[in-house]
Amino acid sequence: MPASGLSPIKQPGHASGSKDAGRGDTQSNLKETATWTDPASQIWSTHVQKYADPRSYHLERSHLAAKPVLGVTSFVPKNLVNHLMTNKKDAAIGVKYRTGDAITNMEGVLHHFVTPFVPILMHGDYAFKGGHSIAGFGTNKAGKQKARVVIMSGLVQQDFENKEVVYEFAKLTHGPIQGVPLVDDMIVPNAHSKANPEYRGGYDMMLKRHAIYHLAAKRVLPGMSEVASYLCLTIDQAIRHIEKLILDATATKEKLALTDVFLVLGSGPTKTYLSLELLAGIAEHQMLNEFRVLEHMVGPEQGYVYTWDPASIFAANLHPTLLNRLTILGVRKAVPECPPRTLKAFAFNDYADPKATQLLSEMFKQAPHTRHVLVVPKFKLFPPPGLTYDSYIHPDAAQAVLVVRNNSDAFGQNIESEHAGGSMDGS
């Protein structure tokens, strides 16, 4: 399978200011711009006034912010990367492609292989207290707000919010779909051309064939009439099958890839088949992009604490536990290719799936390069009563950076515009 790349690469900056995490009220502790090496245990003072909106303040000074680093799977055409990163809607809550939009549904699928990372200042830790909220850090003696530096990953969750994106991509049709690669300098059509349904349908099929070529071992997605000779699993069967693979240290690459394994949804005339190989491929490349960027940008003497919040709204049309197992399988497949040697802890938000942390812990203990990784439920990183980050969860994590993720889809960026209680992005 193709490797992932980093673009553009910035060398990590140098931490500045005091390492006294408790005060955050001195001039030497002032932080205007986040860097890759700022430890998450440090609370900084900012220039933001007590009652000012920190989002508005930082957006007005976005030219001071660190440049993002992109984790890009090598088969994504360069022009498409630029298009995906610059032509989003201001918000896309529950909405995918609509006539006049710049990003089509199959372009949205390709966005799963393009992940931006950037160090940011957060003026509180995300907390769910009956709704999306922030556990703020208060102000310093001068009445200025305090903040923590975190690394934000913009990884796109596998999008099953409706059946227009990944569901449509992985769904088998009556006949086989042969994979065909695109040229790297492909021209991305404009929004006016894409507004034509016939044109857009042909364009999206071209993108689907491209992804199938790179994700399917046989370079083809079979038709529904062919699946009788393959392994077809229900939701429960698929979960159990993947769990066994995750913990099978002897599993071959082919078995881990779920080649010729299909998910059966529904029955009778509404029966649908999804390719688990394509879904596993998305998960693998996403985790490769995560590890490659973080391993490159974070120094081994510092390390990082990685957090994962499972899909919720994006799992509306596929069982969330199955999506979690595909994610963990993606980690399992990515580790041998890009060992996360500087990863200190992996915090999985397992409030609805306690077995997930157990699987991750056992899996990491099996691999020689990950036996050092501490796996914990995410709530232990943000314990009550304050619900703020506790770096002492790991003995070597005092200087580590904290990696958080926004949960937007491929079609809109909600971080700049969504109201504070709307989701994790708005908060």
Beta-sheet pairing, 304-308 with 343-348: parallel
**Confidence check: pLDDT of 18 > 60:** no
Residues contacting residue 302 through CB under 8 Å, at least 6 positions apart: 37, 39, 342, 399, 400, 401
Output the pLDDT for position 403: 97
d(CA 236, CA 419): 37
Sign of CA dihedral 198, 199, 202, 204: negative
Cis amide linkage into residue 54, ω under 30° from 0:
no
Q: Is the pLDDT of residue 40 over 90?
A: yes
* Domain membership flag for residue 115: yes
In a domain, 246, yes or no: no
**Cis (ω within 30 of 0) for the bond into 8?**
yes
Per-residue pLDDT at 417? 63
Whole-number pLDDT of residue 22:
41
DSSP state for residue 191 in the 8-state scheme: H
The predicted-structure confidence for 239-298, as pLDDT tens digits, reads as follows 999 999 999 999 999 999 999 999 999 998 889 999 999 999 999 999 999 999 999 999
* Cis geometry, peptide bond prior to residue 176 (ω within 30 degrees of 0): no
Please give the pLDDT value at position 377: 96
* Burial grade of 270 (CB within 10 A; 0-12, 13-18, 19 or more): exposed
Residue 177 within any structural domain of the chain? no
Residue 185 belongs to a domain: no
Question: What rounded mean pLDDT belongs to the chain?
Answer: 89
Q: Where are the alpha helices (DSSP H) in 26-127?
A: 54-60, 78-86, 105-110
What average pLDDT score do residues 166-180 get?
Answer: 97
**Residue 106 maps to a domain:** yes
CA-wise closest residue to 157 among 287, 305, 343: 287
CB 379 within 8 A of CB 280: no
Question: What's the number of domains the chain is made of?
Answer: 1
pLDDT band at 424 (very low <50, low <70, confident <90, very high): low
Work out the pLDDT band at 423, boundaries 50, 70, 90: low
Query: With contact defined as beta carbons under 8 Å apart, do 391 and 41 qualify?
Result: yes
* In 315-369, alpha helices (H): 320-337, 355-366
Residues 6+ apart with CB under 8 A from 312: 320, 407
Identity at 90, one-letter amino acid code: D
Tell me how far apart the alpha carbons of residues 22 and 280 are, in angstroms, rounded to a whole number: 43
Q: What is the pLDDT of residue 132?
A: 79
- Is residue 396 over pLDDT 90? no
142 CB-near residues (< 8 Å, 6+ apart):
25, 45
Residue 418 resides in a domain:
no
In a domain, 87, yes or no: yes
Q: What per-residue confidence (pLDDT) applies to 233?
A: 97
Task: Tell me whether residue 92 is in a domain.
Answer: yes
Omega within 30 of 0 (cis) for the link into 385: yes
Interstrand relation of 261-265 and 231-233 (parallel, antiparallel or unpaired): parallel
**pLDDT at site 419:** 58
Rounded to an integer, the average pLDDT of 347-352 is 94
> Domain span at residue 299?
4-157+281-405
